[in-house]
C-alpha cells in the first residue's frame, strides 16, 4: 500500500466499526435528476451492466411512477439477470409502490420527508400522518415480497427524537434498512458519524447513508458514516446529481479499498470506462482535476514529479492508472525538466545529445510561457527537428 501509514495506526483503527459496507448506486435515479440529463433506455441498461461488472451490490434503477417509459426502463434492467439487486424508487403512496411492483424489481426505496421544514412547507402533514404513511407503505411493499429501504428525506435537519421514532417504526413495519439522507449536504463528517452511530445504537436498524455535495463533503460524510457502521452507502458515477451532486462511486470505492484497505468484492478495472461512458451519455464533462477519474489525475508536467514517476510511479501516485483502466500522460510544458523531455523524445523515436536536449528544453519553456499552454507531441517533434537541423547545418 502506498497511502498514509497513519491510516492504519491502532489509535485510528480502533475507532472504526465497519459493517461490510455495500453500495447502492443511484446514477440512474438521483444522477438523472441532474438538470438537463436524460438517459435513453439503452443507456440505462448499459450503465446498469457496467455497474454490475464493477460489483455494485444494488442499483437504484429509476422511479417507475414517473412515466411509462421509466417504468419500462426499470423493468428492462430487472430482466437483465444481473447479479446486483435492482431497486425502484417510490414516494410513500400506493400508486408509486404499485409501479415498482409491476417492474419485477426485487427492492424498493420508499421515501418521505421527516424534517419539520419539509412537513410544514412541502408535505403540509403532521408527524403522525408521516409515520402512518411510512409504516403502511413499508407493510404494503413487504406484503409483495420486496426488500425495503425506508428513506428519511432531509434526515440531517430532522430532530433526533422524531428521526429515532421514524426509524424504529419503520423497522417494526418490516423495513430492511433506513436511508439517512443528507438532502442538502449540510452535515460535517463529525456530525455525520454522531448521527449515524446514534441511530444504529438506539433505533437498532441497518443504515444507508445518502450524501450530497453542496459543501464538497459528500464523500467525506459517506466515509464517516461507514466508519461507524453504516452498512450501505449511496453513490453516483462521477458524483452527478441535483445541485452540486452526490458522493461519487469511484471516490468511495477507491477510498474503501486503498485508504482503509478493506477487502471488498469490487472489480475496479472498469471504473474509468464507466466514468467516461456516463460522461458521454449524460453530457456532463468530467473536470480535469476530478479525483480518481479526472484527466489530470495521472498527468504530470513538473520536472521533479515527472522524474520521480519515471523512476518509481508511487513517488507521485498512490495507485497506478491501469488499475482503473486509465493511463498515465506526461505533458511537456513550462515546468518540464530534461528527464521528462528526454523520455518523451525517446517515446517519439528521437535521439538527441545532452547539448541538444538543453536547447530543446529551453525552447519548450520559451514557447510554453509565451503561449500559456503545454506543447503537443507534434510541436515537440518540430522543435527537436529544428535543433537537429541546426546541428547538421553547423557541420
Selected from 3.30.460.10, 3.90.1640.20, 3.20.20.70, 3.40.50.2000, the CATH number assigned to the domain covering 8-282 reads 3.20.20.70
394 — pLDDT class (breaks 50, 70, 90): low
The pTM score is 0.94
Give Cβ neighbours of residue 391 (< 8 Å, ≥ 6 apart): 356
Selected from 3.90.1150.10, 4.10.430.20, 2.40.50.100, 2.30.110.10, the CATH number assigned to the domain covering 295-394 reads 4.10.430.20
Q: Is 366 left (phi over 0), alpha (psi -120 to 50) or beta?
A: alpha
Whole-angstrom Cα distance, residue 90 to residue 98?
Answer: 9
Cell of 141: 411493499
395 pLDDT more than 60: no
12 and 6 in contact (C-beta within 8 Å)?
yes
Average per-residue pLDDT for the chain: 97
194 pLDDT more than 60: yes
Q: Is 56 left (phi over 0), alpha (psi -120 to 50) or beta?
A: beta
32 pLDDT more than 60: yes
Average pLDDT of the residues in 369-378: 94
Whole-angstrom Cα distance, residue 373 to residue 332?
Answer: 9
Instruction: Output phi, psi for 261, to 5 deg.
Output: 55, 45
Tens-place pLDDT, residues 51-92: 999 999 999 999 999 999 999 999 999 999 999 999 999 999
Whole-angstrom Cα distance, residue 67 to residue 73?
Answer: 10
Whole-angstrom Cα distance, residue 151 to residue 111?
Answer: 4
* Domain span(s) for CATH 3.20.20.70 in the chain: 8-282
* DSSP code for 82: -
pLDDT of residue 365: 94
* Domain span(s) for CATH 4.10.430.20 in the chain: 295-394
pLDDT of residue 392: 65
352 and 325 in contact (C-beta within 8 Å)?
no
Q: CA of 233: how far to CAs of 116, 154, 181, 241, 344, in Å? A: 25, 16, 10, 15, 42
Residue in the structure block whose three cell numbers are 404513511: 133
Whole-angstrom Cα distance, residue 143 to residue 134?
Answer: 14
Whole-angstrom Cα distance, residue 385 to residue 310?
Answer: 24
Cell of 15: 475507532
Residue by residue, DSSP assigns 323-345 as GTT---EEPBSTT--HHHHHHHH
pLDDT of residue 391: 67
pLDDT of residue 302: 87
- Measured between its terminal Cα atoms, the distance across the chain in Å is 53
103 — pLDDT class (breaks 50, 70, 90): very high
Residue by residue, DSSP assigns 203-248 as H---EEEEEB-TTS-HHHHHHHHHHTT--EEEEBGGG--STT-B-B
Instruction: Output phi, psi for 81, to 5 deg.
Output: 70, 35
146 pLDDT more than 70: yes
Min mean pLDDT across 216-220, 380-384, 391-395 is at 391-395
Tens-place pLDDT, residues 162-176: 999 999 999 999 999
Buried b (16+ CB within 10 A) or exposed e, 160-190: eebbbebbbbbbebbbbbbbbbbbbbebebe
pLDDT of residue 303: 83
List residues bridging with 232 in a β-sheet.
22, 208
H or E, element range at 366: helix 354-371
Cell of 140: 404494503
237 and 248 in contact (C-beta within 8 Å)?
yes
Q: Radius of gyration of the chain from Cα atoms?
A: 25
Longest dimension (CA), the chain: 94
384 pLDDT more than 60: yes
pLDDT of residue 339: 87
Tens-place pLDDT, residues 232-262: 999 999 999 999 999 999 999 999 999 999 9
Average pLDDT of the residues in 351-371: 94
Contacts by 125-130 with C-beta closer than 8 Å and gap 24+?
127/162, 130/166
Average pLDDT of the residues in 144-153: 99
* DSSP code for 211: E
346 pLDDT more than 80: yes
393 — pLDDT class (breaks 50, 70, 90): low
| Neighbour count for residue 279 (Cβ, 10 Å) | 17
Amino acid at each position: 500500500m502506498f497511502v498514509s501509514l497513519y491510516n492504519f495506526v491502532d489509535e485510528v483503527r480502533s475507532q472504526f466499526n465497519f459493517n461490510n459496507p455495500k453500495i447502492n448506486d443511484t446514477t440512474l435515479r438521483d444522477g438523472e435528476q441532474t438538470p438537463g440529463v436524460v438517459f435513453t433506455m439503452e443507456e440505462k441498461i448499459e450503465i446498469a451492466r457496467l455497474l454490475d461488472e464493477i460489483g455494485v451490490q444494488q442499483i437504484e434503477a429509476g422511479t417507475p411512477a414517473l412515466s411509462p417509459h421509466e417504468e419500462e426502463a426499470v423493468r428492462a434492467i430487472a430482466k437483465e439477470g444481473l447479479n446486483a439487486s435492482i431497486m425502484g424508487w417510490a414516494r410513500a403512496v400506493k400508486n408509486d409502490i404499485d409501479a415498482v411492483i409491476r417492474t419485477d424489481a426485487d427492492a424498493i426505496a420508499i421515501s418521505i420527508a421527516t424534517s419539520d421544514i419539509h412537513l410544514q412547507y412541502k408535505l403540509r402533514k403532521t408527524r403522525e400522518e408521516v409515520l402512518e404513511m411510512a409504516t403502511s407503505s413499508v407493510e404494503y411493499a413487504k406484503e409483495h415480497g420486496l426488500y425495503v429501504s425506508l428513506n428519511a428525506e432531509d434526515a440531517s435537519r430532522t430532530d433526533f427524537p422524531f428521526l429515532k421514532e421514524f426509524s424504529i417504526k419503520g423497522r417494526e413495519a418490516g423495513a430492511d434498512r433506513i436511508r439517512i439522507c443528507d438532502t442538502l449536504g449540510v452535515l460535517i463528517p463529525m456530525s455525520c458519524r454522531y448521527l449515524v452511530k446514534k441511530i444504529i445504537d438506539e433505533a437498532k436498524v441497518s443504515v444507508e447513508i445518502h450524501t450530497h455535495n453542496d459543501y464538497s463533503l459528500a464523500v467525506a460524510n459517506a466515509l464517516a458514516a461507514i466508519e461507524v457502521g453504516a452498512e450501505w452507502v449511496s453513490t453516483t458515477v462521477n458524483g452527478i446529481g441535483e445541485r452540486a451532486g452526490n458522493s461519487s462511486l469511484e471516490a468511495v470505492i477507491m477510498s474503501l479499498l486503498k485508504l482503509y484497505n478493506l477487502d471488498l468484492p469490487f472489480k475496479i478495472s472498469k471504473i474509468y470506462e464507466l466514468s467516461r461512458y456516463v460522461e458521454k451519455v449524460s453530457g456532463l464533462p468530467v473536470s480535469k482535476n476530478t479525483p480518481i477519474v479526472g484527466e489530470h489525475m495521472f498527468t504530470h508536467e513538473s520536472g521533479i514529479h515527472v522524474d520521480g514517476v519515471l523512476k518509481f510511479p508511487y513517488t507521485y501516485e498512490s495507485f497506478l492508472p491501469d488499475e482503473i483502466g486509465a493511463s498515465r500522460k506526461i505533458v511537456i510544458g513550462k515546468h518540464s525538466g530534461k528527464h521528462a523531455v528526454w523520455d518523451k523524445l525517446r517515446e517519439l523515436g528521437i535521439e538527441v545529445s545532452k547539448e541538444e536536449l538543453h536547447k530543446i528544453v529551453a525552447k519548450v519553456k520559451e514557447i510554453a510561457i509565451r503561449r500559456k499552454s503545454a506543447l503537443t507531441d507534434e510541436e515537440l517533434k518540430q522543435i527537436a527537428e529544428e535543433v537537429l537541423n541546426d546541428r547538421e547545418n553547423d557541420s
